[in-house]
Amino acid sequence: MTGFGIFSAQRAFLRCFTTFSVSSLRQGMVFLHQGKYCEVVSFRQLKQGRGSSSIQLEYMDLMSRKVFTQNYPINSKVEKVDLERHNALVQYVDEDAKELIVSDHNFEDKSIDLSLIGQAHQFLSPGDEIQVYYHSDNIVKVTIPNHILSKAK
């Protein structure tokens, strides 16, 4: 019976990281690049003359929020990350610690680094609902409702 538990634990681990062909990535997918979580911004297939084609991938590093462009060979692989999405309610912004305090679906307080949110944290008020994306208990991405983002612009 213990063998089944080990097998299911291995399957659960494999679901967290999936080796994926770069040509299968699409806009909005999250993958690991050099140990950092990145989100695909745009995707183009390039073909130059009689040579082999390549993939031009524009992606955003989710921690630093910087956008990078990189060319990959058509047969290269990346680690795709499957994220879990949870809704959370904003409690308050701690400017000194540079954290946003939210309560999750279990009413437990979680702290989110303000670098994941950017300048939009200034327009958040207590009670606003945001979406938090997790990967193995790490907060990877935070999305803010459009009506709050429109105030930021």
Domains of the chain: 18-81 (2.30.30.30), 84-152 (2.40.50.140)
- DSSP conformation letters of 71-121: EEETT-EEEEEPPEEEEEEEEEEETTTTEEEEE-TTS-EEEEEGGGTGGGG
pLDDT of residue 152: 64
Task: Evaluate whether 67 touches 57 at the Cβ level (below 8 Å).
Answer: no
Q: What does the pLDDT average to over 16-43?
A: 87
Alpha-carbon distance of 59 to 132, in angstroms, equals 20
Mean pLDDT across 96-108: 86
Give the other-Cβ count within 10 Å of 54's Cβ. 19
Distance, CA of 133 to CA of 135 (rounded, Å): 7
The reported pLDDT for the residue numbered 7 is: 41
Mean pLDDT of 111-125: 84
Strands 54-61 and 36-46, bridge-based pairing: antiparallel
Global model pTM greater than 0.85: no
Q: Give the distance, in angstroms, between the CA of residue 99 and the centroid of all CA atoms in the same chain.
A: 18
Q: Beta-carbon neighbour count of residue 34 at 10 Å? A: 6
Q: Answer yes or no: is pLDDT of 140 > 80.
A: yes
Which of 91, 86, 65, 82 minimizes the C-alpha distance to 131?
Answer: 86
Q: Render pLDDT for 57-82 as a digit per residue (tens, 0 to 9).
A: 999 998 888 999 999 998 899 998 88
Q: What's the pLDDT at 49?
A: 80
pLDDT at residue 9 above 50? no
* Averaged pLDDT for residues 118-130: 85
Instruction: Give residue for tokens 């999750």.
Output: 104
Sign of torsion over alpha carbons 153, 99, 82, 39: positive
